[in-house]
Amino acid sequence: MTTLNLITFASVFQEKTQEAIRQAHSELFDALSAHYDVKVIFEEELSTFRPQPREMTLLFIATGGTEGMVVRRYKELAHPLIFLTDGKANSLAASMELCCWVRQQGETCAILHGSMEVILAKLRVLEERKKLSGLRIGLIGEPSDWLVSSGVSYARAREVWGVEYVNLDLQQVVQYFEEETVTDDLLAAVDAFLQRAQSCREPHREDVIKAMRLYRALKRVAQQRHLDALTVQCFALIPATHTTGCLALALLNDEGIVAGCEGDLQSIFTMLLCKRLTGQDTFMANPAFLDTERDEVLFAHCTIGLNQCRNYVVRSHFESQSGVAIQGILPTGAVTVVKFGGRALDEAFICDGELLDNQDDERKCRTQIRIRLNRKGVCEQYFLSNNIGNHHIILFGHHAQQLQELCQSMGVRVRE
C-alpha cells in the first residue's frame, strides 16, 4: 500500500493531535485510508520529516487562517506544492489564497478538492507521476544551437517531476564508435534491418554498418550510465563519425531506451513521460506545414522507432544527405500530439487527432505524416500564435484526457 504523507496545517483554534484531525475530517480520512497508508505530519515535525522516493506527499490544509504558516515554511516544503482540502473550516478558501501566492512566486501548484471519488481519482493520477521519480535522462553533447527556446532547469525538473538530467561528453560516444569492430553478429543485425525494409534508396551496406556501430556505441553509454532516456547532439556526430544517429535512435527506442534528437531537453522529457504514462512509443517531429482551414499538420523527421511503422524505407539523412535515416510508413488512425515545455516543464500542449496518411516529399525530412487535430482553430491559435517551440511528440491512440488530468493534478498550464 502506497504511503500518503499529509503535511498538515491547522489554525491555533484546531486541536493539533492525530486523533483530533482525523475526527474533524473523518469522511476524507476514511476514504484515503481505504487506499493508502496515511501519515499525518504536523508543521512542527518538518525539520525531521524525510519522505521516501516512492511515497506521495501533499499539503493538507485543515482550516482557514493557515496561509501565513505555509508561507513561513515555504522553503522547507517539497515542490511542487499540491494542496489537499475537503473544504471544512474555510480550508478551501485558504488553499485558493495559497495557490495564488505560490504562482506569484513563479512556481506551479494545484488543489485537490471535490467529492471523495474525484480526490481519489486525482491521487491515482499523481501516482502515475511517481513513475518518473528517479529516472535518468542523458544529454550527450549540448542542445543544438537552433533550440533557443527549449532549455530546462535541471533543478526544477527534479523538483517538479523527480527526473534527473545528466550531462555526458559526446567524445565518449565517438571513442566507443571507433572501438566498435565489425563482427558477425553486427553484420547479421545489418542484414536483418535491410531485409525487413520495404526498400533501400540512397545508403549502401557500408553506410548501414557504420550506423549500426554508432547504435552500439550509444547503447554502451546508456547502459554504463544507467540512462532511461537520452538525447544526442546528433548533427555534431556527423563530422566525427561520418554517419548519422537516426538508425541508432530508432533501435534504442525499439528496445525501451527512450531516445531523441538534437539535444532537445523538453522533447526527450515529453517522450519519456508519454512512454511511462501510456506505454506507447513516440515519434519526435517538426511541424513542416499547417493547413489552418482544416486544422491539419504535416509532421516530419528522419528517425522513428521501427516498431511504430507498418513498413519503412532506408534513406539518407535529409539535411546532410548522408548516413542512414528512416522513412517510416505508419498506420493511420488515432494519435495524440503532445509537448511539455518551459524551464520547469510546467507548460504543455495536448491534442488528440487522426493520422490521415503518409507522404513522400523530397524537400522534407524522411518520415512524413499528416494529422488532423480534433480541436477547431488549433493550428492558428496554438501553432502560429502560442506554441511551445518546434518539436512535438506523436503517439498512437487518444491519450489527451489522461495527460490533461495529470497536468491538472500537477498544476501544469495547458496551452490552447
| DSSP per-residue codes, 176-228 | HHHH----HHHHHHHHHHHHHSSEE-S--HHHHHHHHHHHHHHHHHHHHTT-S
Check whether residue 300 and residue 217 sit in a common domain: yes
Nearest CA among 139, 129, 138 for reference residue 345: 129
H/E run at residue 252: helix 246-254
State whether 220 and 363 are in the same domain: yes
Winning range, highest mean pLDDT, from 76-80, 107-111, 181-185: 181-185
Which of 131, 163, 185 is the last residue before a domain boundary? 131
Same-domain pairing of 123 and 147: no
**3-class secondary-structure state, position 19:** helix
3-class secondary-structure state, position 368:
strand
98 is in which domain, residue-wise? 3-131
For the record, the C-alpha cell of 109 comes out as 501548484
Of the three residues 88, 110, 131, the one that is the final residue of a domain is 131
**Is residue 150 domain-shared with residue 11, that is, in the same domain?**
no
| pLDDT value at residue 125 | 87
Same domain as 46, residue 15: yes
| Number of domain units in the chain | 2
Mapped onto helix, strand or coil, the DSSP state of residue 244 is: coil
Q: Give the per-residue pLDDT at 301.
A: 97
Residues 176 and 202 in one domain: yes
73 vs 393: CA distance, rounded Å: 38
Distance between CA 82 and CA 67 in Å, rounded?
A: 14
Convert the pLDDT of each residue in 230-273 to its tens digit. 999 999 999 999 999 999 999 999 999 999 999 999 999 999 99
Question: Is 80 exceeded by the pLDDT of residue 12?
Answer: no
Q: Are residues 175 and 104 in the same domain?
A: no
Coil vs helix vs strand at 340: strand
Chain segment 126-140, per-residue pLDDT in tens: 888 888 889 999 999
Q: Whole-angstrom Cα distance, residue 28 to residue 92? A: 14
pLDDT attached to residue 149: 78
Query: Cell for 229?
Result: 532516456
Residues found in the chain: 416
Burial of 239 from C-beta contacts in 10 A (0-12 / 13-18 / 19+): exposed
Residue 124 and residue 155 in one domain: no
Residues 269 and 377 occupy one common structural domain: yes
Residue 16's pLDDT band (cuts 50, 70, 90): confident
Are 218 and 339 part of one and the same domain? Answer: yes
Domain of 245, CATH number, reads: 3.40.275.10
Chain segment 356-384, per-residue pLDDT in tens: 999 999 999 999 999 999 999 999 999 99
| CATH number of the structural domain spanning residue 64 | 3.40.50.10940
Burial of 105 (0-12, 13-18, 19+ CB in 10 A): exposed
Instruction: Name the pTM for this structure.
Output: 0.90
Same domain (yes/no): 90, 21:
yes
Instruction: Give the number of other CB atoms < 10 A from CB of residue 190.
Output: 22
Domain end position, chosen among 104, 131, 158 = 131
Same domain, 307 and 373: yes
Task: Determine which helix (DSSP H) or strand (DSSP E) holds 256, and give its type and residue range.
Answer: none
Q: Is the pLDDT of residue 44 over 90?
A: no
Strand, coil or helix: 407:
helix
